Amino acid sequence: MSSHPILRASFAALAAALAGCAPFNYSAPDSPRALTAVAPIEPSPRIALVLSSGGPRGYAHIGVMRVLEEVGVEVDLVVGTSVGSLLGAFWADGRSAAEIDALSETGGPLTLFDLSPFADRGWIHGQRLQDYVNAGLGNKSIEHLQRRLVVGATRRSDKVPVFFTSGNAGVAVRASSAVPGVLSPVGIDGIEYEDGDESLPLAVRAARQAGARFVIAVDVTPRPETTPVDASTAQRERVARRRARIAPESENADFVIHAALRFGASPLPSYFRYARVTGEQSARQQLPQLLAGLQRAGLTDERPVP
Q: CA 116, CA 81: separation in Å to the nearest integer?
A: 22
Question: What is the helix, strand, coil percentage profile of the chain, to 5?
Answer: 45, 15, 40
Contact (Cβ atoms closer than 8 angstroms) between residue 66 and residue 100: no
Residue 305 pLDDT greater than 60, yes or no: no
158 is catalytic: no
Residue 13 pLDDT greater than 60, yes or no: no
Contact (Cβ atoms closer than 8 angstroms) between residue 179 and residue 108: no
Establish whether the linkage from the previous residue to 43 is cis, with ω within 30° of 0: yes
Confidence band, pLDDT 50/70/90 cuts, at residue 269? confident
Q: Given 93, 195, 197, 219, which residue is catalytic?
A: 195
As a whole number, the mean pLDDT across the chain is 89
pLDDT at 59: 95
3-state secondary structure of 190: coil
Residue 106 pLDDT greater than 60, yes or no: yes
Q: Given 52, 53, 76, 82, which residue is catalytic?
A: 82
Confidence band, pLDDT 50/70/90 cuts, at residue 202? very high
Confidence band, pLDDT 50/70/90 cuts, at residue 239? confident
pLDDT at 123: 85
Confidence band, pLDDT 50/70/90 cuts, at residue 235? confident
Residue 97 pLDDT greater than 80, yes or no: yes
Residue 9 pLDDT greater than 70, yes or no: no
Better-predicted residue by pLDDT, 131 or 119: 131
Residue 66 pLDDT greater than 50, yes or no: yes
Confidence band, pLDDT 50/70/90 cuts, at residue 284? very high
3-state secondary structure of 130: helix
pLDDT at 170: 98
Of 22-31, 67-76, 91-100, least confident by mean pLDDT is 22-31
**Beta-ladder partners of 155:** 160, 193
197 is catalytic: no
Contact (Cβ atoms closer than 8 angstroms) between residue 183 and residue 144: no
Following DSSP, what letter does each residue of 68-101 receive, concatenated? HHHHT----EEEEETHHHHHHHHHHTT--HHHHH
